[in-house]
Chain A
Amino acid sequence: MTHPIRSSIPDELQKAGGKLEGVAREIAQRTGIPEAHIYGVGSFFHLLDRPHQKVRVCTGLSCRLAGADEVLKAASEAGLPVESCSCLAGCDVPPAVLRERRVLPAVQVEDVKRAGGDWQRLRSSSPLVAAPHRKDEHWSGSIGPENADPSQLVFDLRGKPNFTGEAYRKAAEMGPEAFFQQLEDSGLQGRGGAGFPAHIKWKGVFQQQETTRYVVLNADEGEPGTFKDREVMLRRPDLVLEGLAIAARMVGAKEVFLYLRGEFEVPWATMESALRRFVDAGTFGDIQFHFHAGHGAYICGEETALLEALEGKRGMPRLKPPFPVEVGLWGKPTLIHNVETIACIPPIVQRGGSWFRELGKTEPGTKLYCISGHVQRPGTYELPLGIDLDELVEAAGGYLGTLKAFSPGGASSGFLPASERNRPLSFQALGEVGSMLGSAGVVVLNETVDMKWAVMQQLEFFEAESCGQCAPCRIGTYYLRDSLDKHMASQPRTESLRHVADTAWQMNEGSICGLGQAAPLPLTTALRHFPEDFER
């Protein structure tokens, strides 16, 4: 099927080497798309806007705790074309470094020196990629827990991929109505951040009058502290692809779009070769799969921004309502899910909704928790939904130092004090304290961390990633970061933070999307729980 020409803008810009001078005009002449539109799109995405930067060092919280600043300094001293960037979904392998579009795990200052000023020679000497059978295009992070019983696991990340298509055939036999019942019984909540019940979206798309429908995979994983989707795609691409095929079959879609963040070159390759196996075997009939690369914009993880990006526009979130279920990709009903959510589907088909539900502790299912920061073994842990921080950290080998604070669900969830260590890490329990489970990107901070500093990392992230469409977020993220800067620069502490409460209130009430609504949380929660750090 042909899609509107506009949707090719990002790919065209990438092919041309980025939004260099003259490129937008050249593409415009060839395609008939207005040149200003092409330029506007190119300038939105960092990988397209600044293509001459070949190396990017992640300056997310976990990577900074692990020496990202030194790596960045070494790289710029070595004359590499380098800049800092937002979270690369490699918080378990810090510091993560991007070489063009490839994430290199755990890059050390020595690695930078070894490259000798040539960015193309930059490699990671981490054991993750140094094993003889591995090259830097094949690596994956730590997973756990050890000795888990595979029958109690949904993803079984250690398990062998299954290309038989059994679950797809079983779902096809069941038919939509029966499957939706299983999905409802499973209690599956979206794993992308909002925890919205999956069955409502599936039924919603199924019931639309419009018969052209789409299924979209959200693999833009960019929430700082989160890397589970990467791990699922690297280890169990079969689950993701079969889940998508089942989704398409059940809601009556013929086309599936996979939106992977541009930095996911390695997972992309795994997913593509897995898809080839399914397609060669003709497992999913006439369902078509289209891969689409992101180009460096966290906001495109927000589902409607993602749809805009798929349509070849600037990734600015749409107003909701209407929701994608009714008005999605090119205005058609669209089912959009996170990688982890979709990967739950084949096991639910195979083993039933109530099996899935029973696996959870306080809420249904198991959950892929990402843990990084001050713990022994950062990684992705499949555990019952609703375990608490101590249980999670135990699976990850224990704390490094004394727990001071933690961020339970990515930067957007703010910070919680150690006293919340036994609160279930679940959608509801965290919602009750004004935080959220979000994408379950758990970051642990020990007593060595100054919360002002930790907050600053998160505020810088939101400021860099705001799409700029609405004033509360565009100005608010800038204003908060600037206020904290001034606060930190002044001794004795001045009144720089006096409008924080009002600004945060405005951002939450006035912003269009979740980015602006959540962006003040790191600061407001830290001010509430760690006031002494701001007085020092």
Chain B
Amino acid sequence: MTDRSITVNGHPWQAQEGETILEVAARHGVEIPTLCHDPRLKPAGACRTCLVEIDGWRRLAPACATPVTEGMSIVTENERIDRHRKTLLALYMTDHPQSREESERGAPDQLFDMVARYQAPSDWGVLENKRQGRPDDRNPYIQFNPEACILCARCTRYCDEVESVSAITLAQRGSETTIATVDAESLLDTTCEMCGGCIDVCPTGAMAEKIPLVRGDKPERELEKVRTTCNYCGVGCQMDLNVDPDAREGQGKVVKVTSPPVGTTTNDGNLCVKGRFAYDFIDHPDRLTQPLVRGEDGELHPTTWDDALAKAATGLRGVTERHGPDALGFVSSSRCTMEENFLMQKLSRAVFHTNNVHQCAAT
């Protein structure tokens, strides 16, 4: 990598070939607003919030999509850029729900943060929304609120470039441009894998998780985030449990799962359908929370781990003695880690002398 000498707001800085203005600025703590940018995606340069001035360029340039070149001189704050941000955000607000409460039914709406941050006018009037949604989509997890969509296309690009699923697309054009599925089908009838990534990347909450909306949970901003490791499989994705501290008489309740910011954990902001949506088991009445053993009466009764393990061992040994080792088979859960799976096959092969061992995610 060759170095590039550039100037940002008068500071002489070194940058690397291929780095964008936004990346260099971020590295030096220079603030440039973005809405359509996501480091996992190819820059679209579509939201226009990140425009900066480059010496010798007639037009403002998108910092997210412009690689630095040797000698480039960049300005990120001046009167022109300030007017740009204010008037752009003012326009955005004419085609958006007018209050945070109205808009923020899903996730936090960054447009409001930005309007406040740059003191943009939000009194330019209101246009009638022309974007179509799919209010009748019967999928259980994902809801698209077209009113709040700013067409940053992060959701569609994420679905294309990260998930390689391409279940959703930009459709129509002009002010009718919207996010759609083929023939407005339910996501369930498309290639969608319900990874929920489209929700996670959405800067306005237009793409939102359905269940908390239906349940009428608190807005995400009022929830407490608790970082943990997903226990659905061995990958070990980091996730944030979003807890409503007041629920269940102050005991708290997990009402949503979100992924940690991009670039902070190994899963890089990604989760799968299980990690993101299947958190219901936490408080489910059928959830097993202690060992149970079936008694003479045919019912399950709570017991200690020692007792339960001893009972299991006796049972397994009994089968081998009566029918031989190959009468046994061991199947481990896809929730197990690599190490647990290793132990499982040791148990099978070394202890019970059978090769009948499998893991449910292996096929």
Contacts and interface: CB of A to CB of B under 8 A. Distances in A.
Nearest to B152: A471
Contacts of A463: 174-175
Interface in B183-238: 183, 190-191
A478 B84 contact: no
Interface residues of B, number: 46
B151 A468 contact: yes
A510 B175 CA distance: 16
A505 B150 CA distance: 20
A461 B122 CA distance: 27
Given A38-B182, A474-B151, A468 B84 contact: no
A510 B150 contact: no
Contact of B60 (A35, A477, A510): A510
A464 B172 CA distance: 11
Q: Chain B: interface secondary structure? A: loop
Nearest to A22: B183
B190 A35 contact: yes
Contact of A34 (B94, B166, B180): B166
A505 B60 CA distance: 13
B255 interface: no
B282 to A, nearest CB: 34
B80 to A, nearest CB: 8
Nearest to B131: A468
B52 to A, nearest CB: 12
A472 B183 contact: no
A24 B182 contact: yes
A512 interface: yes
A496 to B, nearest CB: 8
B152 to A, nearest CB: 9
Contacts of B176: 468
B94 A475 contact: yes
Nearest to B169: A40
A475 B95 contact: yes
A479 B174 contact: no
A510 B88 contact: yes
Interface residues of A, number: 46
Contacts of B173: 43-44, 297, 299, 314, 466-468
A146 interface: no
B92 interface: yes
A35 B172 contact: no
Nearest to A314: B170
Q: Chain A: interface secondary structure? A: helix
A113 interface: no
B172 A468 contact: yes
B175 A36 contact: no
B90 interface: yes
B114 interface: no
A512 B180 contact: no
B127 A512 contact: no
A502 B89 CA distance: 12
B85 to A, nearest CB: 10
A510 B48 contact: yes
Contacts of A36: 166-169, 180-182, 190-191
Interface in A1-53: 21-22, 24-25, 28, 34-40, 43-44, 49
Interface in A434-480: 463-472, 474-479
Contacts of B357: none
A503 B94 CA distance: 11
A471 B174 contact: no
Contacts of B180: 36, 39-40, 43
Contacts of B60: 509-510
In the A-B complex, the 10 residue pairs with the smallest Cβ-Cβ separation, listed nearest first, are: A468-B177, A40-B169, A34-B166, A506-B87, A36-B169, A478-B175, A35-B182, A466-B174, A43-B171, A39-B182
21 contacts: A21-B183, A34-B166, A35-B190, A35-B191, A38-B182, A319-B43, A464-B174, A468-B175, A468-B177, A471-B150, A471-B151, A472-B48, A479-B124, A482-B125, A506-B84, A506-B87, A506-B88, A506-B90, A509-B59, A510-B84, A512-B45
Interface of B: 43, 45-48, 51, 59-60, 62, 65, 80, 83-84, 87-88, 90-92, 94-95, 124-125, 127, 130, 150-151, 153, 160, 166-177, 180-183, 190-191
Given A503-B91, A510-B87, 18 more contacts: A35-B190, A36-B166, A36-B168, A40-B169, A43-B173, A43-B180, A297-B173, A463-B174, A468-B170, A468-B172, A470-B48, A474-B174, A477-B175, A478-B127, A479-B94, A499-B125, A505-B87, A510-B84
